[in-house]
Structure 1
Amino acid sequence: MELVKATKDFVIAGQPYPGFPVLLWDSMESCVPANQFFRHYLLRGAIGSKRSWPSTGRALYDFFSFLQAHELDWRDVDRGEAKSLVSAYRDYCLDTCGLALNTTRQRLTYICKFYEFALDNGWVKRLPFGHEERTVKRELGFLAHVDASGGQVMANNVMPRCHKILPKFLSMAEIKSLLAAAENPHHRMMIRLALHTGLRREEIAAFPLAYVLDPDKVGRTERNLRIRLDPSDGSGMVTKGSKPRDIYVSRKFMAELYRYVTKIRGERASLSKTPQKALLLNQAGESYGDDGKSLNRIISETGKRAGVRVHTHMLRHTYATQTLVSLQRTPESGLEPLVFVQRQLGHSSIQTTMVYLHLVNEMADKAVLAYDDELNALAGAT
C-alpha cells in the first residue's frame, strides 16, 4: 500500500479548520495514530498560527514515506541496532537528501513529539531516542544570576546540534541594483515597502491602503510618522499572532506611498469589480492571497535580472541590519538602536533581534580589515 497525503476540513466546537492535514493509505484506511496525533498536537493551541500546520503534516508524511520505502514499521523501537528509526531518518535527511540543518531539526521535532504521544497512549513501549546533557547559551533576564545550571540542559540525542547561521542581507550596492531592475512600478513599491519597514511577507501583502496618508496634512514637525499595525481595526491588516504594533516610516517615504496611491495604483484597482483594502494589488486588481507567497516569485525574479540572489524575508533582514548600522552611526538620534529595531520588526524577545547586532559587528570587522589592507598597500607603495 502507498502512503498519500491529503487535507480535510474539520469543524470542532463550531470552529472551522480548513485544510487540516490527514495521512491516508491508498486503501483509504486512515493512518489512525498519525491523525490522532495531528488532532492532539495542532488543536491544543500550542501553535498559534495555522500557517505552521502544513509543516507538521509534511514532516510526518515524509517520515512515514521513508519508513514505507525501506519496509520499516514505525512501532519497531526495539530493533537491537545502534541506529534507531529516527536516527536513520535524520541521517537520510542530512546525507541523502541534503536538507538544511534547520529543516531537519524542525521535522525531527514533530516526529519526536509524535513518539512521545505514542508512548503516552501505549502504542510503543519506549521512545526511539534518549537524552544527553548539552551546553546552551541562556537568555539574559531577570534572576539569571541565580541560575545554577551552568548552561547545561538535557537535550534529545537524535537532534543534530544547532549551529547559528547569520541571516543574509543586501549591501547598499545590491539594493541599488535590485531597485533599478524593478521596472514594474507596482513591484518596485513592493520592494521599497519591505526595505523601508522590515515588514514580513504576509504583512506586506495585507498592508492596508487606509494606512497611507498625505504627509502634508500631518504635523510638519515630525520627521517620522507612526503607523499602528492593528489586525482588529477593520483595515485588513495581518500581523504575526495578530499582535498590534507601531512602526515608523519617514515622511519622505510616506510621500512616495501617497504618490503611488494617487498616480499609479488606480491602474490596477480599476480592474477589480470591488474595492480592495490592500495597498498592493496583483495583475487582476486583487490583493495578493495565500499570505503573499507570490511576492517571493516577484522579488526573486527581479533579483535575477539584477544579478542578486534575494527573497522577501531577506529584505526584512536587510532593513534590520542597515537600520541598525545607521542608528549606531547617529547616536544623537536619542534612540536605542536595538530596541527600536526590535519594536519595528515585532520581535517578542530582544534576543531574536540581537542576531542583527552580530551582523553589524561582522560588517565592522570586515571594514577594519579592508581599511588595514588599504593602509598596508599605501605603506608598501611609499
Structure 2
Amino acid sequence: MELFFTDKNFSIAGTPFIGVPFFMDANYRLQDEINDFFSKVLIERAKSPQTWKSYAYWLLDFFKWASANGVNWKRITRQEIVAYRNWSLEECNLKPSTVNGRITVLKHFFDYAERLNIIKNNPINSKKSTGFATADSDFLAHTHTIYYQRNDFTVKENTELPKFFSDDELNKIANAIKSERLTLMIRIMLECGLRRSEVSKLPDALIQKAIKDAFSLGSDKEVQIKLPAEICKGGKSRNVFISYSTVMRLMQYRNLVRPEHVKKYRAKHKKNPKAFWLTQMGSEFQPTTLSIEVNELGKKIGIDTNPHKFRHTFATNYYSITKDLRGLQLLLGHSNIQTTTIYEHTAVDDRFGYLAEYHRHIDHLIQS
C-alpha cells in the first residue's frame, strides 16, 4: 500500500482541495474504497490538511500491519483490532492518546465501509455513555447531563496537566534569543495563545490592519485581530488580542527587516508574498522551523521548550486572571470546552490583575 496527496488540480464540486490523501496498491492501482472515505467523508469531518495527513498515515500504518499479519481488513475481527491496538502500545510505544486517535479513525472508516456494504459488521462498535457537565446548582441542573459515544477499545489515558514557563524561564529565554523574528513570534504566542502553525502563517494583510488599528486606538488599548479561518485549526476563524507595544515592534520589523526578504521572494516566485514571515532565502516561513528553533534554544539554556508551551503559559495566566473558561475557549479556538478545562487545575496566583497588565508583564520580560 502506498500513500500520496492531491495537488491544486484536485477539486470536489469545483472547489480545489490540496493535500487530500489517496492510496494505491503496490502496482499503483487506486484503492477507491479507501480513497472515497477521505474525499466523501473525512474532509467534511476534519477541515485541516494536517489532520488529513495524520489520519492517512494512521490508516496506512494499520493497512501495513494487517498485510504483514495476514489480516484481511474487510473481514477483520474484534480480536484482531485488539491485537493491532496492543501492538501499537507495546511494540511501537505509542502514547495512549495517539492509539485512541488511531482507533477512532478506524471506527469512522469501518462505519463508512459498513454503510456501503463493503464489510458486513463494524468490529469497533460504539455504545452510549452518560456523563455530567460541571455546572452551578440550580433547578435546571438535570439539563447538564451529557451523552457521548465511546468504544470498547479505548485505552485509559492519564491526562498530563499542561506545563508553562515561569518568569525566570522566560527571562532566560529572552536573553538567549538572537533572532528578532523569533523574539516577536514568542511574544505573540505568549500574548495571544496562538499555535505554532497560526503564528507562522500570519498574513501580512492582518499585520497591516493591526498596525492601522493600533494607531487609531492609541497606546493604552489592546488591539483585536481576527485570525483567518485558513490558518486556524479546524478551519474556524477567531479573535485574539495583542498589545500595542508588540504591534509597534511588528511595524518596525515590517519596515526595516522584511523588505529584503520580500525582494528575494519576488525574485523567486514572481509575485508578492501574502505571508508576513519570510525566510532570508525568500520563502514562506514553516511551522516546523519554528519548532526546531525553539527546541534548539531550550537545549542551549537547559530548559524544556516547545512552541505549544508558550500557548499553555498564556492560557494558564489568562484563566488565573479572569476565571473565564468560556472566554479562554474562544481565545484558544477549542471546539470543545472540555479541552479547555485542563487550565482550571493549573492556574497560578493572580499576580497581574488584568489582561493588559499581563501584556505589559510579557513586554517587560521579552524585549526585542
Interval of TM-score (by shorter of Structure 1 and Structure 2): 0.7 to 0.9
In structure 2, the partner of 1:196 is 191
Structure 1 residue 342 and structure 2 residue 339: aligned? no
In structure 1, the partner of 2:224 is 227
Q: What TM-score do the two structures reach when normalised by structure 1?
A: 0.77
Q: What TM-score do the two structures reach when normalised by structure 2?
A: 0.79
In structure 1, the partner of 2:4 is 6
Note closer, same or farther for the CA distance 1:215–1:227 as it changes in structure 2 (3 Å cut).
Answer: closer
1:111 deviation in Å? 0.7
Identify which of 279, 282, 286 aligns with 2:283: 286
| Residue aligned with 2:74, SS | coil
Note closer, same or farther for the CA distance 1:275–1:351 as it changes in structure 2 (3 Å cut).
Answer: same
Structure 1 residue 113 and structure 2 residue 112: aligned? no
Note closer, same or farther for the CA distance 1:103–1:30 as it changes in structure 2 (3 Å cut).
Answer: same
1:260 deviation in Å? 2.9
Q: More displaced, 168-177 or 125-134?
A: 125-134
For the Cα contact (< 8 Å) 1:324–1:357, is it kept in 2?
yes
For the Cα contact (< 8 Å) 2:3–2:23, is it kept in 1?
yes
In structure 2, the partner of 1:20 is 20
Note closer, same or farther for the CA distance 1:250–1:283 as it changes in structure 2 (3 Å cut).
Answer: same
| Residue aligned with 2:18, SS | strand
Higher relative contact order (CA 8 A, sep 6+): 2
Note closer, same or farther for the CA distance 1:76–1:272 as it changes in structure 2 (3 Å cut).
Answer: closer
* CA distance in structure 2 between the partners assigned to 1:39 and 1:245 by the alignment: 27
For the Cα contact (< 8 Å) 1:66–1:89, is it kept in 2?
yes
In structure 2, the partner of 1:378 is none
Note closer, same or farther for the CA distance 1:99–1:230 as it changes in structure 2 (3 Å cut).
Answer: closer
* CA distance in structure 1 between the partners assigned to 2:38 and 2:334 by the alignment: 28
Note closer, same or farther for the CA distance 1:134–1:216 as it changes in structure 2 (3 Å cut).
Answer: closer
Note closer, same or farther for the CA distance 1:276–1:126 as it changes in structure 2 (3 Å cut).
Answer: closer
Q: More displaced, 292-301 or 250-259?
A: 250-259
Note closer, same or farther for the CA distance 1:139–1:51 as it changes in structure 2 (3 Å cut).
Answer: farther
In structure 1, the partner of 2:95 is 100
Structure 1 residue 354 and structure 2 residue 351: aligned? no
In structure 2, the partner of 1:58 is 57
* CA distance in structure 2 between the partners assigned to 1:297 and 1:314 by the alignment: 14
Note closer, same or farther for the CA distance 1:241–1:32 as it changes in structure 2 (3 Å cut).
Answer: closer
Equivalent runs, 1:303-342 vs 2, <5 Å: 303-325=298-320, 327=321, 337-342=324-329
Count, aligned residues: 339
Output one character per residue of 1:129-151: Cα deviation in whole Å (capped at 9) or x when no partner: 445675645365999623596x6
CA RMSD of aligned residues (A): 3.1
1:84 deviation in Å? 1.4
For the Cα contact (< 8 Å) 2:174–2:183, is it kept in 1?
yes
Identify which of 159, 180, 187 aligns with 2:154: 159
In structure 1, the partner of 2:36 is 36
Letter of the structure 2 residue corresponding to residue 67 of structure 1: A
Structure 1 residue 259 and structure 2 residue 252: aligned? yes
| Residue aligned with 1:18, SS | coil
| Residue aligned with 1:88, SS | helix
1:99 deviation in Å? 0.6
For the Cα contact (< 8 Å) 1:213–1:254, is it kept in 2?
yes
For the Cα contact (< 8 Å) 2:124–2:153, is it kept in 1?
yes
Q: Which runs of 5+ in 2 are unaligned?
A: 350-368
1:159 deviation in Å? 1.7
Q: Which runs of 5+ in 1 are unaligned?
A: 329-335, 365-382
* CA distance in structure 2 between the partners assigned to 1:197 and 1:153 by the alignment: 31
Output one character per residue of 1:101-158: Cα deviation in whole Å (capped at 9) or x when no partner: 1111111111112222222222333222445675645365999623596x67552101
Letter of the structure 1 residue corresponding to residue 340 of structure 2: T
* CA distance in structure 2 between the partners assigned to 1:144 and 1:202 by the alignment: 41
* CA distance in structure 2 between the partners assigned to 1:152 and 1:242 by the alignment: 26
For the Cα contact (< 8 Å) 2:19–2:52, is it kept in 1?
no
Q: More displaced, 129-138 or 201-210?
A: 129-138
Letter of the structure 1 residue corresponding to residue 153 of structure 2: V
Note closer, same or farther for the CA distance 1:148–1:187 as it changes in structure 2 (3 Å cut).
Answer: closer
Identify which of 161, 176, 183 aligns with 2:178: 183
* CA distance in structure 1 between the partners assigned to 2:260 and 2:27 by the alignment: 51
For the Cα contact (< 8 Å) 2:19–2:49, is it kept in 1?
no
Letter of the structure 2 residue corresponding to residue 227 of structure 1: Q
Q: More displaced, 129-138 or 92-101?
A: 129-138
In structure 1, the partner of 2:82 is 87
| Residue aligned with 2:190, SS | helix
Letter of the structure 2 residue corresponding to residue 165 of structure 1: E
Output one character per residue of 1:33-80: Cα deviation in whole Å (capped at 9) or x when no partner: 32232233224x2223333211221111000111111122213335xx
1:172 deviation in Å? 1.8
Note closer, same or farther for the CA distance 1:315–1:123 as it changes in structure 2 (3 Å cut).
Answer: same
* CA distance in structure 1 between the partners assigned to 2:66 and 2:236 by the alignment: 40
* CA distance in structure 2 between the partners assigned to 1:278 and 1:38 by the alignment: 29
Equivalent runs, 1:123-134 vs 2, <5 Å: 123-131=118-126
1:30 deviation in Å? 3.2
For the Cα contact (< 8 Å) 2:173–2:297, is it kept in 1?
yes
Note closer, same or farther for the CA distance 1:139–1:278 as it changes in structure 2 (3 Å cut).
Answer: farther
For the Cα contact (< 8 Å) 1:214–1:255, is it kept in 2?
no
Structure 1 residue 146 and structure 2 residue 157: aligned? no
| Residue aligned with 1:302, SS | helix
